[in-house]
Amino acid sequence: MPVIVNFPKSGMGIDEGTVITWLKAVGDRVEQGEIIVEIETAKANQEVEAPASGVLSLILVQAGETVPVNSDLAVIEDSLP
């Protein structure tokens, strides 16, 4: 079952962020709680953790793109076919 990686709200006044870098690539194994992407906001850089263990199957927002808080960033699958 796919799990969505979401850009969580980190503080008051933070409405958007820019993906700085992905620490994992599509096809990489990730563990729940592992930092997989860094996002720059107006106040600080934010690290986003994998919400579940599995394989990073899809990156929806590329490095350099700016997205609103609560945007879907990526998809983690139990395993790839």
Report the C-alpha dihedral over residues 64, 70, 75, 76, rounded to 10 degrees. 120
Of 2.40.50.100, 2.40.160.10, 1.10.240.10, 3.30.70.890, which CATH number belongs to 3-77?
2.40.50.100
- In this prediction, residue 10 carries a pLDDT of 76
pLDDT single digits (tens) 28-46? 999 999 999 999 998 889 9
Sequence ranges of the domains in the chain: 3-77
Has residue 59 got a pLDDT over 80?
yes
User: 10 in the Ramachandran plot: left (φ > 0), alpha (ψ -120 to 50) or beta?
Assistant: alpha
Has residue 81 got a pLDDT over 60?
no
